[in-house]
């Protein structure tokens, strides 16, 4: 009988790297992720599972119904599998507990199912999320400094503070799959200890990873300082115009000359209430799962 790893991808915790490099290189393992990525990777072979993640995270009849879920579950279970999606970690159209229950039905034919979380010290995660926003949405909308951006994300059912509550997110999946089936790995171990995380994943599945095919280049690099500077000075509309008219060789010179990556001390922007909420949540998580979060500076 086979094993299934369900990777609940929290933001800015190496999900893109895992999905592009590690999971596809697990031997004798079927890897399933968001349709647009998997279609590119598997082509015509992916038609049956193209909307599997959508059937978990959405409510529309086109994507989700009990019969479709039953059909998909009957076709899984004969081979080791990895299901990975960042959308499984957030409160969206479907809440986390419902997603967990659907995943439970989907993976009923596996002998062993493990729920895999990567967590990251919250201030570093916020820093990375902000620069990611500048890199993407920040090019479409007016420039915001960190505090403006952070405050704009604090309200709503999927507030940024709720996304930092690792214990609460993990608890939803623990209720459905059981605490013994939760695997928590630290992003900091991934960055600091060579192949440590990859080997843990290898052991979980009981298969080998083809390390020679793993590309160590960051697939989602941070926005460089010069782009932030240009956003602040010119704004989005003028910057879009400049991108069109500036010759490519000049762009390359600018990229090579001004490659430094921005840094931010997020702790200076968090109020005492935010820090208290995050600290209490981290304490519960570290006690329940025997994690040494202090080693890497978690609250």
Can you give the residue ranges of every domain in the chain? 3-122+162-220+282-296, 225-257
CATH architecture of 3-122+162-220+282-296: 3-Layer(aba) Sandwich (3.40)
pLDDT at 157: 67
Element (H, E) at 117: strand 112-119
Those residues of the chain that have pLDDT short of 70 are 1, 34-51, 60-65, 68, 137-140, 157, 218-219, 234-243, 251, 254-261
pLDDT at 187: 93
Q: Which residue has the tokens 């086109």?
A: 62
pLDDT at 159: 85
Contact in structure between 117 and 170 (CB atoms under 8 Å)? yes
Token pair recorded at residue 58: 């959405």
CA 184, CA 128: separation in Å to the nearest integer? 20
pLDDT at 276: 94
pLDDT at 39: 47
If one counts every other C-beta atom within 10 angstroms of the C-beta of residue 154, the result is 11
CA dihedral 87, 91, 93, 99 (to 10 degrees): 70
pLDDT at 8: 93
């Amino acid at each position: 009988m086979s094993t299934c790893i369900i990777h609940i991808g929290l933001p800015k915790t190496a999900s893109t790297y895992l999905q592009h490099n590690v999971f596809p290189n697990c031997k004798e393992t079927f890897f399933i992720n968001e349709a647009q990525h998997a279609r590119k990777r598997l082509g015509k072979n992916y038609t049956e599972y193209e909307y599997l993640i959508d059937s978990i995270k959405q409510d529309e009849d086109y994507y989700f119904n009990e019969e479709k879920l039953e059909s998909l579950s009957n076709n899984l279970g004969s081979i080791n599998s990895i299901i990975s999606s960042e959308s499984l970690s957030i409160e969206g159209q479907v809440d986390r507990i419902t997603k967990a229950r659907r995943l439970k039905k989907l993976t009923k034919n596996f002998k062993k199912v493990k729920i895999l979380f990567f967590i990251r010290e919250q201030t570093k995660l916020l820093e990375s999320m902000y620069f990611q926003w500048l890199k993407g949405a920040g090019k479409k909308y007016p420039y915001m400094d960190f505090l403006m951006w952070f405050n704009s994300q604090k309200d709503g059912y999927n507030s940024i503070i709720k996304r930092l509550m690792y214990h609460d997110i993990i608890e939803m999946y623990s209720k459905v799959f059981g605490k013994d089936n939760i695997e928590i790995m630290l992003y900091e171990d991934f960055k600091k200890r060579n192949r440590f995380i990859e080997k843990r994943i290898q052991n979980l599945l009981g298969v080998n990873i083809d390390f020679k095919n793993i590309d160590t280049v960051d697939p989602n690099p941070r926005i460089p300082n010069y782009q932030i500077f240009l956003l602040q000075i010119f704004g989005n509309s003028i910057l879009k115009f400049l991108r069109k008219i500036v010759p490519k060789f000049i762009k390359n010179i600018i990229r090579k000359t001004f490659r430094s990556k921005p840094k931010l001390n997020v702790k200076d922007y968090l109020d005492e209430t935010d820090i208290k909420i995050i600290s209490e949540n981290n304490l519960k998580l570290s006690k329940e799962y025997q994690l040494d979060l202090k080693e890497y500076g978690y609250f």
